Structure 1
Amino acid sequence: MFVVTGATGNVGGHVVKELADAGAEVLALTRDPEAARLPEGVRAARTEEMPLDGATALFLNPAVVWQVGTEKLLERAKESGVRRIVMLSSSSVLQDLDPHTNPIGVRHRALEDEIERTGLEWTFVRPGAFAANALQWVDQIKAGDVVYGPYAGAQMAPIHEADMGAVAARALLADDLVGQTPELTGPESLSFADQVRIIGEVVGRPLRYEEIPHEAARERMAGGFLTPEMADSLLRVFAELVDRPQAVSPEVERITGRPGRTFAQWVEDRVAAFR
């Protein structure tokens, strides 16, 4: 049995679908099992209950792990007979792991280390920028034709969550990714301004991105999941990426056998959110 944490989230939902399509037995962990819309045959349970008995492999979303407690969850996994853990990590672990300048990378690397110490099989899926980060612009796009944000020329290769889910599911189902740390990107490097322009092309409206100062951007970003320190870290990264196209990783195509989905495809899949 495969257990998926964060099973109704952006990535976890695709992991569940991929596993179900492959005919696997899946238990989806979520905060509200009654409201979860899952593929036929997939069972659901509450995350905090951690029902891992009978599980052979586990997909870990760090946000869920940190919520319930890392040590508690990993200990429970070992006791229940889990043999393999696939973690949704971050390519930020490949950068300088200074807690003051890269708190996101530090937290993910610490969790990777804890998983390695369990002695279980593991794969760490390390995506860069999520295409879904563009959802932060939904309210601005619905309100007008201009998106305000930092560093219009910052380049990244945003990845579709379905591609992350496909890679993670492959790591759960097959043995060839055990002990690997595939770094994932989308198939094209785009600036923030490019992304907003593409959203406009898909929704049929001329949209543009207008750069705002660092401090104004920090104030907008900090809050909720993002601490002020995380906001500062991200802004430093954005500043370094201005006019620097990101190298595109071949890993999605190597692992899944097909090219990664473009940002325009992601917008088409989420177009209702922007209208």
Structure 2
Amino acid sequence: MIVITTPTGLIGHQVLNNLLDSDEPIRVIMRDPSRLSPRARERVEVVQGSHGDLDVVTRAFAGADSVFWLVPPDPRAESVEDAYVGFSRPACEAFKTQGVKRVVGVSAFGRGAAVSSNAGNVTASLAMDDLIASTGVSYRALALAPFMDNLLRQVGSIKNQGVFFDIISGDLRQPTCSTRDIATVATRLLLDHTWSGVGSCPVLGPEDLSYNDMAQIMSEVLGRPVRYQQIPAESLKATLTNYGRSEAMAQALVDMMAAYDQGLATAEPRTPESSTPTSFRQWCEEVLKPAALA
């Protein structure tokens, strides 16, 4: 039995779709089962509720061999530790009481890096990893580079103004990965019943690119000029709070991006195993361009 959290989320729905053709029994945790596709609804067992609720995860993890764990975004959390570690505590209790064997979790890389002690969401993700590992389950943390798909949040300004924004230097080359590749790696681990112990599984995409590199590729794919504009950290934080993020969660995101600008995203060595296939150009052609034309 494989249990999937966030089965309609950006990564979770792709993991679920990958697993539907397998022979594995699948159980999902979700608040609104009507959001599942008809195909998934016929194939999976649903436990309704939040995977931050002890009663829900206790029922969902009963008899489970493997769990796909992803903490949902909580932009109004009082602290980034509450958002990651606090949310995960009930599940960690249920991992132990229900005898879950393996957990594959969405996390971040940066363990051991000099800036990781104050890297916002990254630091909280690593603390979550430690909590999960302390339960005694076999655990693989998906140590993820920044997502290509995060640019979809700025598709309006890319389409209408030909510009996208962040606080990172435009010339800093760093890895970036697509969520489809994250889901592929997660699926492989969930279907593999042979691994054990605690470790990380970096997902770095195929190449390191700067935001200026990305702007050039976007310009070529979209057939119109696109440029990157670096903005002050204070401007990003103000934008986030204006859109409803709590002070703590806005600061956590700014701290994470500042850590990336200091080289956190380049701290993980690239290997053939950590390099995933989807290039930024391919992602732009297959994901960004259709979104911009919609």
Secondary structure of 1:248's match? coil
Q: When the two structures are superposed, what TM-score results if normalisation uses the length of structure 2? A: 0.79
Q: Deviations over 1:231-261 (max 9, x none)?
A: 331342343249x8985342246xxxxx521
Q: Which runs of 5+ in 2 are unaligned?
A: 51-55, 74-82
**Matched AA of 2:226:** L
How many residues are aligned here?
268
The yes-or-no answer on 1:135 pairing with 2:152 is yes
Match of 1:183 in 2: 202
Distance 1:202 1:231, change over 3 A: same
Aligned position for 1:251: 273
Cα offset for 1:162?
1.4
Q: SS in structure 2 opposite 1:152?
A: coil
RMSD across aligned positions (CA): 2.9
Contact 2:173 2:211 in 1 (8 A): yes
Distance 1:262 1:35 in 2: 30
CA contact (8 A) 2:233 2:254 kept: no
TM-score, length-scaled by structure 1: 0.84
Decide whether aligned partners of structure 1 residues 221 and 159 sit closer, same or farther in structure 2, where only a CA change above 3 A counts: same
Match of residue 70 from structure 1: 88
Displacement of 1:91 in angstroms is: 0.5
1:54-69 matches, within 5 Å, as: 54-63=63-72, 66=84, 69=87
Amino acid at match of 1:46: Q
What is aligned with 2:179? Answer: 161
Which residue does 1:85 correspond to in 2? 103
Shift of 1:98: 5.7
Identity %: 25
Report the alpha carbon displacement of residue 74 of structure 1 after superposing the two structures with TM: 1.8
1:245 to 1:173, Cα distance in 2 relative to 1, 3 A: closer
Q: Tell which deviates more after alignment, 147-156 or 26-35.
A: 147-156
Give secondary structure in 1 for the equivalent of 2:200: coil
Could you tell me how far 1:169 is from its partner in structure 2?
Answer: 1.6
**For the residues of structure 2 that align with 1:47 and 1:96, how far apart are their CA atoms?**
39
Alignment of 1:14-29 (within 5 A): 14-29=14-29
The alpha-carbon deviation at position 106 of structure 1 amounts to 2.5
Aligned 1:259-274 pairs, distance under 5 A: 259-270=276-287, 271-274=289-292
Letter in 2 for 1:45: V
CA distance in 2, matches of 1:55, 1:63: 21
Note the C-alpha offset of 1:127. 0.9
For 1:221 and 1:93, the matched residues in 2 are separated by: 26
Alpha-carbon separation, structure 2, partners of 1:170 and 1:195: 29
Q: Which residue of 2 aligns with 1:256?
A: none
**Structure 2 equivalent of residue 202 of structure 1:** 221
Does the alignment pair 1:228 with 2:228? no
Counterpart Cα distance in 1 of 2:164 and 2:116: 32
After TM superposition, give the deviation of residue 34 of structure 1 in Å. 0.6
The separation in 2 between residues aligned to 1:228 and 1:35, in whole angstroms, is: 29
